[in-house]
Amino acid sequence: MKKLGNTCKENVAALKGILTSEDILVFAFETQDGAACAAIYADGITDKALLGEQVARPLSREKTPKTAQEAAKILQAPETKTETDPLKIADEVLAGNTALLIDGVAEAVIIGMKKLSMRAIMEPPGAIAVKGPREGFIEDLKTNMSLVRNRLRTPKLQFKTLTAGKQSKTAIAVGYLDGIADEEIVKKIVDKIECIEIDGIPDSSYVAKFLAERPNSLFKPTGTTEKPDVLAAKMLEGRVAILVDGSPIALTLPYLLVEDFQGAQDYFVSPYRASISRLLRFFGVFVSVFLPAMYVAAQLFKLQILPLSFLLTISGSVQGIPLSPSLELFFLLLVLEILIEASVRMPKYVALALSVIGALVLGDTAVKAGLVSSSAIIIMALSGISAYTVPDLVGTTSILRLAFVVVAGSIGTFGVLLMTALVLYYLVTADAYGVPLLAPFSPLIRRDLKDSLLKTSMYGLDKRPKVLQSKNKTRLRNKGGKVNHGKN
């Protein structure tokens, strides 16, 4: 495309030829000696007050600058750069910046004046902390970057800003700590993002799909967090952060499955409490996946496993139920999934009414009508609630739970064992970015076990996780926490 000329009018016409939409406005004014100037901006995402104060007012009081650099000096804006390619200028305008054109200058000055109506920084609803910081990411990339920068005030914190999405031109920032994160992983991530060729990227989950080394996996491809403190802590361990404009969810790589069992709060309470919480989460996921399947298998194939009194209670409750245990539980779990889906989407004012319908009509009445047994309802409820001890894995556990019930109903206990073996074979061999998904359990990394399902005190976590292969291995030098008085 032809570069900018010397005439302001022609340049404005050229840019308007590209930016034909009605919300692209031109603010025309003159310098002190009467040279025509034009500021081109996108209505609604540019700060008009700043445009007047920092651009129009200083220029109208000065003589016409001869170059774009000279004009930039006159402006009172901190963020400026020059550009001659009309297509790139158009991209900047669409990103919320202002393009300043001056008669007699064959360049445009791009001024950073983006102003979007953003929600305030608040506690993310999906990661509420009883103790610890409560701020969460929002949809603005720069705000999110500043939240991370505020927690890691070191020159080693690096951000590489990239753009992806042919139509959306979404800004993506790859953040890492120089000397701590593995540079090869950073390069690999940057290369993968640069290769993304898609129309638009509405959310970071789109980027996660492109970063996945196993795109069809049932398990998450990347770690996710909505909290700057968590992201900073992960970066300090040697992980790479990916922030996407328009998304409050940051991605982290490499990802380990055990991360989902670690809560932010674990680091703010005693290691004993943290270890118990983590074991409970693991037990919760275990119960959520295996309890319905074992109930079905026990009823169909292996009744001896139940104590006699418990067996009599269950056999009493299942008497006269028209469905087989596997079908009964399969349908109940399906109903649970439907209720969860509906409760997420339903308007709040009908939530109460639907809760009553869900709990009373579908639960109590179904038992009274003899359609399902009360024990199956208890199993379904236990399984459903337990899954939410690890919210990040809910999608995976709910699918696995259904699959295990089907297998238990058709092949029984051995089917459950086979399915477990298959999932384990998959997990132990699923490496991404050179890091095993199931580390530090398989392969066993003793040092990293200190912060896995059990957590030791801060002094025990003096080294960064070995599995992340950080160049700088030590993160705590004064292990004893002793005060160094120093001798002169």
Partner 1 sequence: MERIKVRQLCFYFVAMMPVAKLLVYPATLTYQSKNDLLLSAFVNCLAEGAIVALVMLLAKKSGKSLFALLENTFGNITAKIVYGVFALFFFASALLPFMEHKNFVLQVMYENVPSIISFAPFFFVCFFACVKGFKSIGRMADISLPIFIVAFAVLILLAFPHADFAALLPLQGASAGEVLRGSLFSANWYTEAAFLLFFLGHFEYEKRASVKVIASYAIGSAAVLLFLAVFYGVFSDIAIRQQNAVAQISKYTTSFTSLGRVDYLFIFAIALVMIFRLCVPAQMCVHCLCKSFGCKPMLPAAAVNILLLALTVFFNYSFLELQTLFTQRLWFLFALFAYALPAAALLLKRRGAHE
**Which chain residues interact with partner 1 by CB under 8 A?**
300-302, 304-311, 411-418, 420-422, 424-426, 428-429, 436, 438, 441-444
**Smallest gap from residue 98 Cβ to partner 1 (A):** 55
**Smallest gap from residue 261 Cβ to partner 1 (A):** 16
* Cα 230-232-233 angle, rounded to 5 deg: 65
Which token pair is 446?
Answer: 């003793």
Query: Nearer Cβ to partner 1, position 27 or 441?
Result: 441
Yes or no: say if 454 and 275 are a contact pair by the CB < 8 Å rule: yes
**Smallest gap from residue 330 Cβ to partner 1 (A):** 18
**Smallest gap from residue 299 Cβ to partner 1 (A):** 12
Whether a cis peptide bond, with omega within 30° of 0, leads into 58 is no
CB under 8 A, 24+ apart: contacts of 74-79: 75/100, 75/109, 75/111, 77/50, 77/111, 77/112, 77/113, 78/112, 79/111, 79/112
Nearest alpha-carbon partner for 235 in 338, 153, 348: 153
Spatial neighbors of 125 by CB under 8 A, at least 6 apart, are: none
Which token pair is 74?
Answer: 């006159």
Query: Nearer Cβ to partner 1, position 301 or 331?
Result: 301
**Smallest gap from residue 301 Cβ to partner 1 (A):** 5
Query: Nearer Cβ to partner 1, position 12 or 416?
Result: 416
Query: Nearer Cβ to partner 1, position 66 or 302?
Result: 302
Residue type, 322: P
Please report which residue ranges of 305-458 form alpha helices under DSSP H.
Answer: 308-318, 325-345, 348-356, 366-368, 374-387, 394-410, 413-428
Nearest alpha-carbon partner for 452 in 289, 279, 280, 288: 279
Query: Nearer Cβ to partner 1, position 297 or 461?
Result: 297
Give me the numbers of helices (H) and strands (E) for the chain, helices first please.
17, 12
- Helix 374-387 with 394-410: angle, nearest 10 deg: 150
**Smallest gap from residue 297 Cβ to partner 1 (A):** 9
Query: Nearer Cβ to partner 1, position 323 or 445?
Result: 445
Nearest alpha-carbon partner for 362 in 391, 386, 342: 342
Query: Nearer Cβ to partner 1, position 222 or 413?
Result: 413
Query: Nearer Cβ to partner 1, position 360 or 422?
Result: 422
**Smallest gap from residue 374 Cβ to partner 1 (A):** 20
Buried-state track 141-151, b at ≥16 Cβ within 10 A, e below 16 = beebbebbeeb
**Smallest gap from residue 382 Cβ to partner 1 (A):** 17
Query: Nearer Cβ to partner 1, position 106 or 411?
Result: 411
**Smallest gap from residue 310 Cβ to partner 1 (A):** 7
Yes or no: say if 158 and 177 are a contact pair by the CB < 8 Å rule: yes
